[in-house]
A and B are shown apart, each in its own frame.
Chain A
Amino acid sequence: MSALLHVDGVSKYFAMGGLLSRTQTAAVRDANFRLEQGTPEIFTIVGESGSGKTTLARMILGLETPTEGEIRYKGNPISGLSFGAARRAFMTDVQPVFQNPFEAFNPLKRVDRYIESTAKVFRGITARADLDAAMDEALASVGLSLAEVRGRYPHELSGGQLQRAAIARALVCKPKVLIADEPVSMVDASLRMAIVNLLRTLRDDLGVSVIYITHDLATAYYISDRIMIMQKGRVVEMGAARQVLDDPQHPYSRLLKASVLSVTDAGQGNLEPARDLMEASRTALEHADASRLVEQGEGRLVRMAG
């Protein structure tokens, strides 16, 4: 099997501070994973704020350049896909959905114009009727219709509608990979499941691979095929989603799982079951420099000392 997307030993360092005290912060350290061609899956990246999830996503989209390592799409390094036709072909295949639906659209332009121009550029559609059909198809697959969206400005739609329109805009290119960076964290709880289910439909019906970035373990457990857990830029655990989440090995993964509010005793104020896990997670982080990912079988990796 050949790789659709291959993240190969990628690290990203940012220079921080002023002229006198310049330090380097590692946003991502040595990330490795690959999505295979022909087997669409939902690959989830989980981690707290600042764990490097979004930086990783931006590198895959070509918005940031990795400091070390390389990201390859269908065997071609994406750093070489930054101009002209090659860039356009790459963007047709790899599309993003970001966190905040209210920032996703220019407040001065009608929402349908956005979807329309994307269809024009990436699918080369020019005829009015074909454009409408392509837009309506994309909107229908997210549970909207062209009639609902046409002529509307972003401030006239709700957050849930905007987020679905943003997904429709990505879908209108018929992408192979959708990078969804916390797509539901700013959407109403009641709409969250609709969007999460939508990602699943994309995988099953349209064959789109989804990189789903989240800090919500419940939805990750629900839809993911594989999961990768990140702590301060390092991958600490990776493997089949259910396997990892049913029995997390790394202290940080355990802490994440323990921090999910339990349904059975949610009302009893039992909010600190994880004190010992926080300690263990912090210790693991302190000794992270002297650790490595250890193969556990069935594609499962856990970061361990030594």
Chain B
Amino acid sequence: MTTDKIIRVSIWVYLGIFFAYLLGPLIIMSVTAFNSPSFPRMTPWECLTFNWFGELFRDERILNGIWNSILVGFGTVIMSVSMGLAGALMLTQIWPKLRATYYTIIIAPILIPGVVIGISTLVFWDRINRMLGLGADSFLSNGLFLTIIGQSTFIASYCMLVLVARLQRYDMALTEAALDLGATHAQAFRKVLMPFMMPAILSASVLAFLASFENYNTTTFTFGEYPTLTIELAQKVRYGITPAISALAFMIVALTVFFALINEANIKRKKMIAEARKDATVGELAGKIEVPGLVSRNPAAIAVIVLVIGVATVTASAMTYSPDQCIADVQEQKRLETEKRIQELRDRRAKEAADKAAAEGAEGGAIQSAPKPSNNSGFGGVFAPNTLQNEDEGASDEGAAGSSNNSGFGNVFDPNAIGNDDN
């Protein structure tokens, strides 16, 4: 093996570890959404089930949280993108000596902890609310308003960074050209600057929505009567989690992958159109350009289609598939296993006790020279085979009673059964 080969192999190994670290938790969590145990786990695999999705959609609080998160997300997108755009434009127009200072001020909210922003938003708007003489149920102390305002304070800064990057590539002469050709400032903004900024505005919107959707630190102070999804999840986790949360997480992962693939396919397609334009004749440009089919040479588009077909099949089969029989089987099997384990334990104990008693009996015989049938040994008769026999009978009765109990846990939680094991 040459050094070259070793390096190549170690790079692959490294990549493997890296991606396992990156994606492993997501994969495992996704798998738990389809496993039937009520605690999210991948092994042992019991039954394929889609019930957790049903459970998720029956959970009023989660649904309400999603709806609130979407409301807050859209509000935050509108607020932060417009503030970010204004900030970015200001940065390019401001007197150069002030630029560095202005930049620092506008970027500061990113550096301030979200908790601080949350508290200060709450305190500030509460003061404003009181100054205006409004009650506790006014618009200004409404959780929706406070959450949007609070999140926008720092998400606007992210948006500004995205928009500034695009704006720096904008040639101010374009605006001047538009003005020179008779456009008003508003027309120049709308017809020349905005179309140029559109890609950045779209990506800033996506960024703002995602940042808002996943925000917890700030929201936890401001949500009021509008708990968002993150808040609801955090509150749920306190009472223990179920695979329904895995199901939600799986759906988010699937949607993310879906949109990422769509985006990728779109970029690829645009590139192909540009290439086709380059080769097109003047006549073709005026009419319709011959562009290769949607999926040709576009792996991302193929992946999207495969994904959509996959989701459709799974959903369709989930409608008809019922894991009840499997779950019942598993429960039955579990019960049998538990019984078997109890039986084994019991047998082992009995055997141990018998061995011990035999050894003791031999020893006692040697010392006392005569067996004592009466129960007056120094050990209170616990080692007497008869006594054991009696208890064993009692235990097997109870065991029989236990096996008639049809609980899914094979009676492991039956206090009597535990009492038996302890003996």
B is bound to A: no
Interface residue ranges, A against B (CB under 8 Å): none
Instruction: Spell out B's residues near A (CB within 8 Å).
Output: none
